Structure 1
C-alpha cells in the first residue's frame, strides 16, 4: 500500500496536468466532431470526410510525406554510415550540424526555402517556389537527421564479424551490404521511416509557409478551417482522423524501435570501433559532404537575404526589428516577440523538466509484482500520448475547451508555455528513462539502509548519473519550445506574439520591409536554436532515442 501511494504521489501532478491540458482538450475536439449541434451525429464526421477537398488534402498529405520519407532515407543512409562507422575528422561537429535542421523552427525552414527558391534567390530559375517540390524539399531538410541518427546508432552497434566472414568467402562489398548489413538494419530503417513519415505528415509550419492556401496538408487544413472559415466541426473531424492515424504510426514506430533496441542489446560489447576511411568509402563521404552543403544552402540564402537591402549590404532589417510595425501588423516590435519567445521557452522548459522528471522517476523504479509493472507501463504510455497528437490539434482543443468557468484560461500567459511543455514532455521522458532505468536499484537500497530518505537517495544516487541527460533534455525542450508554432498559432495573444507567430504574420503581408524583417527574425531564431543544439551535442547524450 505504501509503495502504491508513493507511486500515485509521484504521478499525481503530471496526471493532473495531462488530464486538464491534454485529455480534456482532445476530448472537447472529439466532441465537436461527433456532437456538432449538441446531439450525437456520427454522420457529421462522415460528411466532412466525404468532401472532395478533404480527399485532395488527404492524398496530398500522404504522397508528399511518402516521397519526403523515401528521399530522407536515400540521403541519410550514406551519412549514417560515414558518421557512425568511419573515423572521420570533426565527425562529432558534423553530426551536430546535421542535427540542427531537425530542431529549427518550422517557420524558419519555410522562410529559408522561400528565400532560396523565390524571386532573386540562388535557385529561382528552377521555378519551384510555391510548388509541392518546395514542400517536399523542406520536409526532407527537416527530417533527414532522424535517419542519420536512428540508422547510424544501429549501424554503429552491428557486430562486424558476419560481414567479415561473408567477405572472406568472396562476397563483394555490395553483396555484404545487401545480404548481411541491410537485413540487420531493417528494424532501424523501419523505425526511422515510420517516424519520418509521421513528422512529414504533421509538418505544419513547413507546408503553411511554402504552400500557403493552395496546397494543404491535414494540419494546415485544420488551421484554415478554424481561423479562416470558422468551420469547427469540420476541423474537429479532421483532427479526429489525424489522431487515429498518428497514434497508429506511433505504435508501429514503438514496436520497430523495441526491435532495434533489442538487437543493440544483444550485440552490446561486440560493436566495431570506427575504422579509417578507405578509397571504397569515398562515395559515402562525398555524399555526406554534399548533404551537409545542401542543408547549409537554405540557411545561407536566409542569412544573405537578411543582409541585402536594395542591392547593398546593410543591417537595416535587423535594426527595424526594434521598431513598432508601421502598418499595425504587429502590436509589439519583433524584438519584443523574441523576448516573449525566450520567456515562454524558459517556462515551458522547467515545466517539461518537472513533469518529465516525475514521470521518469515513476516508471523506472523497480516494480514488485505484475500489477505494479502494468501500472508503470500504463503511466509510461499515457505520457507518450502528446507525441501521438499534433500540436495543431492540441492548440485547437485548448482553444475550444478552456473558455468557461474556472477553466477560462485563454487569456492566461501560462497557456502557451503549458502547451509547449506538453509538446516537449515526451522528449524529456524518453531522454531520462533509459538513464534512470540503467541505475542499479541496489545503490538506492544501500543509501536507504544508511538512513537516506527518498529525496536524499535521489540526490546522491540518481543525480550524479542523470545530470548530463537532464541538461540535454532541458536543451532540446528549450529549442523545441522556442520554435513551436502549431499550438502557439492558435493560443498566442495579439499583444504577446512569439517569434514564429511574428515571422508568419510578416511573410503573410506584402511589403519589402515586412519580408526583410521576417528574414532577419528567422536568422536570429535559427541562431539561438543552433547554439542550444550544438551545446547539447557536446554532452554526447543520444537524443534521437526519444523518437
Structure 2
C-alpha cells in the first residue's frame, strides 16, 4: 500500500463524517439565511448593525481575555506544584482539578447557585453568623460570576497542559543552575520558565477559545445583561428566528476559532518530539521531603479544594434544599416522573438515554479521532498544517449553530435518536485527536522499520506494533469522549426529542421551573451527573498514561 492510498484510507471516514455532519449543516444555514427563500418574516433579512455587532464582539473578546488571565493566574502556580509526579497527594489533587473541566454547564450553574446564590451556602452561613437580614453576596447575573465560572472550568486546562509539559523537562538543567549559584527563584525565571513558555501559550490559546465560544455560562449565570457571540447566535436564531444575523455572527466566530486553532496546532507541532520509551528523570521524584514540600502540598491542596468548593456545596444542598435537615427526598423524586414535566420521560430514563448516547459517542469518536490522527501524521507539508485546525473546528463552533443546521439539513434524520450521538461525536472527536496524535508522534520510527525488515506488512505492523502502543491513549480518549457526551448541552437543546431527553436537558428543564421541589431534583440529578463524569476522570488514574494534551 503506497503512501497516498494509506492517507486516503485513514482520511475517508473523518472527511465523510465532517462533510455530512459539519460542513453541510453550516452551508445549509448560510443558504437558507442569505438565499432567496429566507425564513425571516416578510422576506426581509435583519442584519445586526455595526455598533451592536462591535459591542457583542468587544464583550466576547474582553471577557475571554479576562477569563484567560484569571485561569493563568490560578493555574500556573498549581502547574508548578503539580510538575512533581512523586507525591500521591498531588496525584489526587491533579484528578480533582480535572473534574471541573468535564462538568456540564447546567451542573456548574447549579453548583454556583448552591454556593453563592441568594439562598446558597455562603449567604446562609454569613446571614446566620452576622445576623443579617439580606444576602451579603450578590454575584448572580454579574460579570464577576462569569469570570469565576470560566476560571472554574479552565484552570484545569492550564494545569494539565503546563504541568504535563513541565514534568518532562530535564531536571539536570535546574540542578546545574543551582550548582552555579542561582537561587530557586532565579532558576525558575531564567531556566524553567523559558522552557515551558510554549506550553503556557498553548494553554492560553485553548482557554481563550473556550471562553470566546462560551454559551451556557453566560446564558444561565449572566442573565439578560450579557451576551457573547454564542449567546447572540442562540437569541438571533431561536428567539428572533433571524437566521441572517445568526449566520454573520457564526462566520465571525468561525474565523476567530480557525485562527486560534491554527496557532495552537503550529505550537504543538513545533514542540512535539519523539521520546524514548524508558523512564526519564523528572522533577523532584527522588528528592527528600522538606518543610517547604509540606507547606507547598498544604497550599496546593487548599487551592484545589477551593476550586472544587462549588461542587461540594452542590452536593450538600442536594440533601437539604429548602430545609435545615438532611433528607433523600430529592433523590427519591428522581425515581418518578412529574406530570407537569416538559419531557415525555422520567429522570431515570434520561440517565439511560445519556449513557447510551455516551457509549455510541465513544465508539464513533474513536474511529474518527484515530483516522484524523493518522491522516495528519502521514500527510506531510503545508496540507497537513492546514488540515489540523480544520479537524479542530467543531471544538470552537457554536453548538447552537450546529443544532440549527441539523434541523434544517437532516430531513427525516432530525427525528432520529441517532442524531444526538452523531453530534456528540463531532464535538468529542477533537479531544480524541488531541490525545491520540501526540501519542502517535511519540512512537519511535525504528519500531515500524524493524517490523518491515522482519517481513510484516503495514497492516500487520499497525495491528501488532502500533495499536498496542496506542491503546492507553485510546483508553484516555474514550473516557474523555464518554464524559463530553454525558455533559453536552448546547446541541442537544435543539435536536434531542422530548421523549429522549438527556440528563443535562432534564436538569435545565427542572431549573427553569419554579419551586423548591424542582430545584432540589435538579441539584440531585446534577450530583448524579457529576458522580458519573467524576468517576470517568478518576478511572484515568488507573490507566498507564497521563493526560497531557486536550
Judge conservation of contact 2:106–2:216 (CA < 8 Å) in 1.
yes
Judge conservation of contact 2:319–2:327 (CA < 8 Å) in 1.
yes
For 2:142 and 2:151, the matched residues in 1 are separated by: 15
In structure 1, the residue matched to 2:423 is 419
In structure 2, the residue matched to 1:461 is 465
Provide the TM-score with structure 2 as the length reference: 0.88
For 1:334 and 1:49, the matched residues in 2 are separated by: 43
Residue 317 in structure 1 maps to residue 330 in structure 2: yes
Partner residue of 1:349 out of 362, 367, 371: 362
Partner residue of 1:201 out of 198, 201, 212: 212
Q: 1:155 to 1:451 in 2, by over 3 A?
A: closer
In structure 2, the residue matched to 1:255 is 266
In structure 2, the residue matched to 1:510 is 514
Q: 1:507 to 1:280 in 2, by over 3 A?
A: same
1:380-416 deviation digits (Å, cap 9, x = unpaired): 454233224233332232233223xxxx421111111
Give 1:446 deviation, angstroms. Answer: 5.6
For 2:196 and 2:449, the matched residues in 1 are separated by: 39
Give 1:117 deviation, angstroms. Answer: 0.9
Judge conservation of contact 1:49–1:237 (CA < 8 Å) in 2.
no
In structure 1, the residue matched to 2:528 is 524
Judge conservation of contact 1:68–1:200 (CA < 8 Å) in 2.
yes
Judge conservation of contact 1:353–1:473 (CA < 8 Å) in 2.
yes
Provide the TM-score with structure 1 as the length reference: 0.88
* RMSD across aligned positions (CA): 2.9
With 504-513 and 225-234 compared, the bigger mean Cα shift is at 225-234
For 2:180 and 2:451, the matched residues in 1 are separated by: 55
Judge conservation of contact 2:210–2:396 (CA < 8 Å) in 1.
no
Q: 1:198 to 1:168 in 2, by over 3 A?
A: same
Q: 1:335 to 1:150 in 2, by over 3 A?
A: same
Alignment of 1:323-472 (within 5 A): 323-365=336-378, 379-403=387-411, 408-440=412-444, 443-444=447-448, 447=451, 454-472=458-476
Alignment of 1:72-471 (within 5 A): 72-85=71-84, 87-124=86-123, 125-168=136-179, 170-261=181-272, 272-274=283-285, 275-276=287-288, 278-280=290-292, 284-309=296-321, 310-365=323-378, 379-403=387-411, 408-440=412-444, 443-444=447-448, 447=451, 454-471=458-475
Judge conservation of contact 1:25–1:401 (CA < 8 Å) in 2.
yes
1:166-189 deviation digits (Å, cap 9, x = unpaired): 445554433333333323332222
Give 1:264 deviation, angstroms. Answer: 9.1
Residue 68 in structure 1 maps to residue 67 in structure 2: yes
Gaps of 5+ in 2: 124-135
For 1:469 and 1:263, the matched residues in 2 are separated by: 15
Q: 1:511 to 1:330 in 2, by over 3 A?
A: farther
Give 1:89 deviation, angstroms. Answer: 3.6
Q: 1:36 to 1:164 in 2, by over 3 A?
A: farther
1:121-144 deviation digits (Å, cap 9, x = unpaired): 122332112222112111101110
Q: 1:121 to 1:540 in 2, by over 3 A?
A: farther
For 2:257 and 2:387, the matched residues in 1 are separated by: 19
In structure 1, the residue matched to 2:21 is 21
For 2:525 and 2:377, the matched residues in 1 are separated by: 41
For 2:432 and 2:203, the matched residues in 1 are separated by: 19
Gaps of 5+ in 1: none
Judge conservation of contact 2:79–2:158 (CA < 8 Å) in 1.
yes
| Matched length | 530
